[in-house]
Amino acid sequence: MNDATLIRKNLFRKRLRAILLMVSILVAFLIFGVLGALQNAFSAGMGTAAQERLVTVNRINFTVALPYAYWGRIQQVEGVRNAAPASWFGGYYQEPQNFVQSFAVDPQSYLEAYPTEIVLPPDERAAFLEGRTCAVVGRALANQYGWSTGDRIPLMSNIWQNTDGTQTWELDICGVFDDTEGTYPTNYLMLHYDYFNESLRFGRNSFHWITINTNDPAQNDRISQDIDALFANSPAETATTTEAAFNEAFMEQFGNIGLILTWVIGAAFATILMIVGTTMVMAVNERTREIAVLKTLGFTEPRIFRMVLLESLLLSFLGGLVGLALAAVAAGAAANAMAGFLPPFGLSLANVLTALLLMAALGLVTGLLPAWNATRVRISEALGKI
Amino acid sequence: MTDASALYELKGLSKRYTRGKETVAIFDELDMTISQGDFIAIMGPSGSGKTTLLNLLGGIDRPSAGEVLFEGRRIDNLSQGQLAKWRARNAGFIFQFYNLMPTLTAAQNVELPLLLTSLSGKARKERVKTALDIVGMVDRAGHRPGQLSGGQQQRVAIARAIVADPKVLLADEPTGDLDRTTADEILQTLQLLNKELGKTIIMVTHDPEAASYAARELHLNKGRFEERGKA
């Protein structure tokens, strides 16, 4: 036996209470882990490169198209090295619930816009550039539907209509792309803009956004202003921001995940703090007599303080670690279920470290008062008589 | 001058409580010497200060004035931390209501004071076994307090009090919660510890029959000691 035995025995002396407390902590960390993982998915592809690329959309919002002619004019703006137009296809495969995130892009400029993020073998790259009915798919999406190079698939759009009267585009999968950095999503499909555009029954010669690489990222503010000034007072004014800001705005359509995360976790932890804190104070008060006995036997006040504090930390870490483990499992399941909408996601090292810090903080905050109270126990008062 | 053979020396010991604006003296200018190997029963009416005196001897309370010397060294002026260490080394406590830890087994309860020593786990186990053997509780080592009778719990408490081999055992009404037969068994055990192992025992009791097991009876009344001889 040692102090750890005493701490463990004290924690589980009322097993149901300890388990309920642990479950409440577990739930808080489960929420923290799942929301944290979800936030990781929403911020995927927002690395340094995304800070250096620009995106131009219609000032109204990105669902309102821009005229095709803007592409050429933007390429003429001083400092623009590459401009890649893209249209939202809004695809699905076989059934409307099989959502396929798909864009009609200019292959040459789009691949140039993402030189390190999109990794495509040279032969597949050449095939994509050449073949008008060619499409390339990201690894995650290919895995989801079991597609591979050489497959021919019908991709339906829930927005556009083909000139043949259908909403289906036949596509040849000419390549499967990967992501070198592990942070860029591979859950989407790219088809040829020309093939898409020429077969449209309505809405031709327009695009939804244009991705821009500049010669010098330090000039991005000036370039953004120049582009937007170019189309000021036109029927389709533009708004140019960094790609990271654009992605963030796009994801905020689903809600401000960061804010939701902060509020939900804040509320959960405030509640847990009060419940665990109060229960720990009560649990130690119930043991006043036993603490007095320990002091009588010669246990010093710092030692008793440490034991109560460690008990609180043990409770916090037991509940927290199980909650975090469940969150990892739940995030994995959610990532599979949402593979078509979101890039692969899970708990990051930062999530885990933050959770460990929160567990320590929770244990310390809820343990300090009862630990302090335990040291203040006066033997003669607690025992009445020795 | 200190008495070299004395375990305890009380010099001009006073204890007062403040109740509102009134100061109440429990005892005043008390002098007493307790020798190594004594078995003393402290008796007296309720409120006479028996338990307070035991608290002072055990380093649990501090006097309002005067000195408590243990083996010639003052203990009344030690810090809380020093007193805790002094108690761990020198004093074993036996309570009226046993005060065993309900979540621990008898053996674990007995082992508690040894956690404050540098003994190895194996040495601790041997000590625990010996202590339980002395009080006849080896076969109940794995039982929790709730599974033991009052008398058995008090035996375990005695084992806990002696396991670290303290110089003095301080017992407050150790048989106050027990029936006569069990009380006699407990008192015989204490007597054995005093006679065979030379433990100094200071026992507070209301019970004249319990006091009869002690070698000396001190009656505390109105702040003064009166020693009654033993036959």
The closest of A218, A194, A181 to A107, measured between CA atoms, is: A194
Name the minimum distance, in Å, from the CA of B94 to any CA of chain A: 8
Q: Give the pLDDT mean for B185-214.
A: 89
B137-196 per-position pLDDT tens digit? 899 999 999 999 988 998 899 999 989 989 999 999 888 877 888 888 888 888 888 988
Of A91-95, B45-49, B109-113, the least confident: B45-49
Q: What contacts B6, CB < 8 A, 6 or more positions away?
A: B33, B34, B35, B36, B69, B72
The closest of B178, B209, B220 to B94, measured between CA atoms, is: B178
B19-39 per-position pLDDT tens digit? 788 888 888 888 888 888 899
Residue numbers in B near A386 (CB within 8 A): 51, 54-55, 58, 60, 93, 95, 170, 172
Q: Tell if the CB–CB gap between B103 and A300 is shorter than 8 Å.
A: no
Q: Compare CB distances from B108 to A1, A13, A295 and report the shortest one's residue.
A: A1
Contact predicate A92/A99, CB 8 Å: yes
Query: Given pLDDT bands bounded at 50, 70 and 90, which one contains residue B231?
Result: very low
pTM reported for the whole predicted model: 0.72
Q: Is B48 on the interface with A (CB under 8 A)?
A: no
ipTM computed for the complex: 0.89
- A346-352's contacts with Cβ under 8 Å and 24+ in sequence apart are A346/A37, A346/A40, A347/A33, A347/A36, A347/A37, A347/A40, A348/A36, A348/A37, A348/A40, A351/A32, A351/A33, A351/A36, A351/A37, A351/A40, A352/A324
Q: Give the pLDDT mean for A237-253.
A: 81
Q: Tell if the CB–CB gap between B55 and A1 is shorter than 8 Å.
A: no
Q: Which residue has the higher pLDDT, A329 or A252?
A: A329
A344-383 per-position pLDDT tens digit? 677 889 889 999 999 999 999 999 999 998 988 888 788 8
| pLDDT score for A254 | 62
A48-97 per-position pLDDT tens digit? 556 789 999 999 888 899 999 999 999 999 999 999 999 999 889 988 88
A191-240 per-position pLDDT tens digit? 999 999 998 888 889 999 999 999 888 899 999 999 999 999 998 999 99
Residue numbers in B near A1 (CB within 8 A): 104, 108, 111, 115, 124
Name the minimum distance, in Å, from the CA of B78 to any CA of chain A: 13
* Residue A264: pLDDT over 60: yes
Residue numbers in B near A283 (CB within 8 A): none
Q: Tell if the CB–CB gap between B101 and A289 is shorter than 8 Å.
A: no
Query: Given pLDDT bands bounded at 50, 70 and 90, which one contains residue B85?
Result: very high
Q: Residue A16, class by beta-carbon neighbours within 10 Å (0-12 exposed, 13-18 middle, 19+ buried)?
A: exposed
A160-198 per-position pLDDT tens digit? 998 888 999 999 999 999 887 666 778 889 999 999 999
pLDDT above 90 coverage of chain A, percent: 49
The overall average pLDDT reported for chain A is 87
Residue numbers in B near A302 (CB within 8 A): 81
Residue numbers in B near A383 (CB within 8 A): 95, 99
Q: Tell if the CB–CB gap between B113 and A300 is shorter than 8 Å.
A: no
Residue of B nearest to A385 (CA): B51
Residues 178-217 of B with CB under 8 A from A: none
**HEC string for A130-191:** HCCCEEEEEHHHHHHHCCCCCCEEEEEECCCCECCCCCEEEEEEEEEEECCCCCCCCCEEEE
Residues of chain A in Cβ contact (below 8 Å) with chain B: 1-3, 5-6, 9-10, 13, 289-290, 293-302, 379-380, 383, 385-386
| pLDDT score for A386 | 39
Name the minimum distance, in Å, from the CA of B50 to any CA of chain A: 10
Q: Tell if the CB–CB gap between B58 and A386 is shorter than 8 Å.
A: yes
Residue B10 parent element (H or E): strand B6-19
Q: Compare CB distances from B112 to A289, A297, A380 and report the shortest one's residue.
A: A297
